[in-house]
Structure 1
């Protein structure tokens, strides 16, 4: 499975927020923002902080994309 944060970036555009605004408001590290930008996995804690800041659900910011039906983990 791959992770897509395209929904998150769309919400930020709709709210006229920049990544640095999200980082400051949610109290997450720049390393986490960089991981999000690269489509890498971040901790549930980071996702929960973002959801609390944006007043949304995890499904509103993250999408799981199947890559191979035989893939494990």
Structure 2
């Protein structure tokens, strides 16, 4: 599964709340809800996040094998 846990750490490092992040990125509420539930979202959004924060993909998402849920 894909986890957005690294994004939460990135937000903490940048002193941003989830709400501030969603507003800054202009992400829909349904997309943000999917992110916080570790569900799939469009790669374009992940790309936009990496561009905005000038960070690596690993600062946004990580792969977690299903047996580690």
TM-score w.r.t. length of structure 2: 0.85
- In the comparison of the two structures, how many residue pairs are matched? 67
Q: Which runs of 5+ in 1 are unaligned?
A: 69-73
Residue equivalent to 1:21: 20
What is the TM-score when the length of structure 1 is the normalising length?
Answer: 0.81
Counterpart-to-counterpart distance in 1, 2:20 and 2:2: 22
Task: Tell me the equivalent position of 1:48.
Answer: 47
Correspondence for 1:71: none
Which structure features the higher share of helix residues?
A: 2
Q: List gaps (5 residues or longer) in structure 2.
A: none
Distance 2:52 2:27 in 1: 11
The structure with the largest alpha-carbon Rg is: 1
Structure 1 runs of 4+ with >4 Å offset: none
Correspondence for 2:65: 66
State the alpha-carbon separation in 2 of the partners of residues 18 and 34 from structure 1: 14
Tell whether the 8 Å contact from 1:32 to 1:46 is kept in structure 2 after alignment.
Answer: no
* RMSD of aligned residue pairs (Cα, Å): 1.3
